[in-house]
Copies of this chain bind each other. A is one copy, B any other.
């Protein structure tokens, strides 16, 4: 709250208006008592009384005889700008998403979140499309999907999960549009406005935007190279009684960290003690050389919900995500899915299934992994030359998380870069606590251009 020019009374008024705007107080909700508000703000009771009286005069709140004040203002439409942690607009997750989705192909995107289209399985996708077009069966071209989505696809997913040590029957898998859609359904299922969710700090920035849309209270756990800081995790469980913890175990976005078996066991022990649900987003699974520990594997899908998709490794244009979880949860999630989306994309499931089972896909993805390893090495060498230091050497994946020299402000750099047609991903976009101001996430497949190196070298000189 930027309140330097406001009187104390106005500061209290502003704070209440903020809460209403951010929907932490909704029409009919009781305001904190005068005493509680005075304690919270450190101002006198008479200041709070005056503020409440002026808000009442403005028609924002109303008094209920003998029962304090309640909100009477009409609800304004939900605007994500006004909800949740107010991060500087330039490093806001939604700014980042909009940058990623709106710029044309002439823009350089070292901060981008996906592979160039030329790296994807275009040949296999076209082959699968032609096969689908030739097929006599109308069901995947015309009809609605079945309740849980394509059985063939769910059977394939069950087999792939098995390879990661996660036992899941096809009936425990619900197809979704994407990993984001999967997380959205899980959030609808588990969250009430105001509930606490733990995330890694840093974490994938859209987790923050999505949880903001659910009006969750988001608490960040500092990330270490082997997973979240266990002591901080334990403290957060005691302090906040969170509803779930959301993470990438295998190839962490944005850091490239890999969860260790030790950390995994400790997290699950703590989760069991506090009856915490864990949501494990495994969207980068296909880029791993050797499978890292999975919380879903250790836990056996008891309190862990696994979500994932093929948007990063097969295609983002045909949406095909999934949720694997306890059967009774899948049942409720399926209800929520049909109530809020009616049906899935049978064609997407059909095409992605065909690509994944095409003999060419295994060779293709192995080639991608090799190219990624080379690109990571190249990008890290180049960054080190400029004085930008990788936080760790990722075992796999497309991201390098690296620190600018001399405490340079990455958000400022990102603004300057945008003026030159370069989209960077500044650290605090990924951070609920704003603790990574001098970090950038680099996509190693999009960081080769000389103009990017030249810009960074100038900025870091």
Contact with B along A156-199 (1 / 0, CB 8 A): 00000000000000000000011011001000111011110000
Centre residue among A98, A329, A345 by max chain B CB count within 10 A:
A345
Does A408 make an interface contact (CB < 8 A)? Answer: no
Task: Determine the distance from Cα of A319 to Cα of B329 in the docked complex, in whole angstroms.
Answer: 25
Chain B residues with CB under 8 A of A146: 101-102
Chain B residues with CB under 8 A of A347: 317-318, 347-348
> Given the known A-B contacts A192-B23, A332-B80, A341-B178, are A101 and B144 also in contact in the complex, defined by CB atoms under 8 Å?
yes
The one of B78, B129, B341 in contact with A177, judged by C-beta atoms closer than 8 angstroms, is B341
Q: Which of A2-10, A132-140, A226-234, A367-375 contacts B (4 or more CB under 8 A)?
A: A132-140
Q: Which of A38-46, A118-126, A253-261, A434-442 contacts B (4 or more CB under 8 A)?
A: A118-126
Interface size class of A (residues with CB under 8 A): 35 or more
Does A141 make an interface contact (CB < 8 A)? Answer: yes
Residue of B nearest to A190 (CB): B77
Residues in A47-87 with C-beta less than 8 Å from chain B = 75, 77-81
Does A213 make an interface contact (CB < 8 A)? Answer: yes
Task: Determine the distance from Cα of A77 to Cα of B146 in the docked complex, in whole angstroms.
Answer: 24
Does A340 make an interface contact (CB < 8 A)? Answer: yes
A100 to chain B, nearest CB (A): 8
Q: Which of A11-19, A204-212, A357-365 contacts B (4 or more CB under 8 A)?
A: A204-212
Residues in A312-352 with C-beta less than 8 Å from chain B = 315-319, 329, 332, 335-336, 338-348
Chain B residues with CB under 8 A of A217: none
A105 to chain B, nearest CB (A): 9
A63 to chain B, nearest CB (A): 16
Does A114 make an interface contact (CB < 8 A)? Answer: yes
Chain B residues with CB under 8 A of A140: 317
Task: Determine the distance from Cα of A335 to Cα of B180 in the docked complex, in whole angstroms.
Answer: 14
Chain B residues with CB under 8 A of A122: 138, 141-142
Residue of B nearest to A128 (CB): B133
Residue of B nearest to A94 (CB): B335
B98 touches A147 (CB 8 A): yes
Task: Determine the distance from Cα of A192 to Cα of B20 in the docked complex, in whole angstroms.
Answer: 12
Does A460 make an interface contact (CB < 8 A)? Answer: no
Which 4 pairs, one residue from A and one from B, show the smallest C-beta to C-beta distance? A129-B133, A117-B138, A209-B339, A180-B342
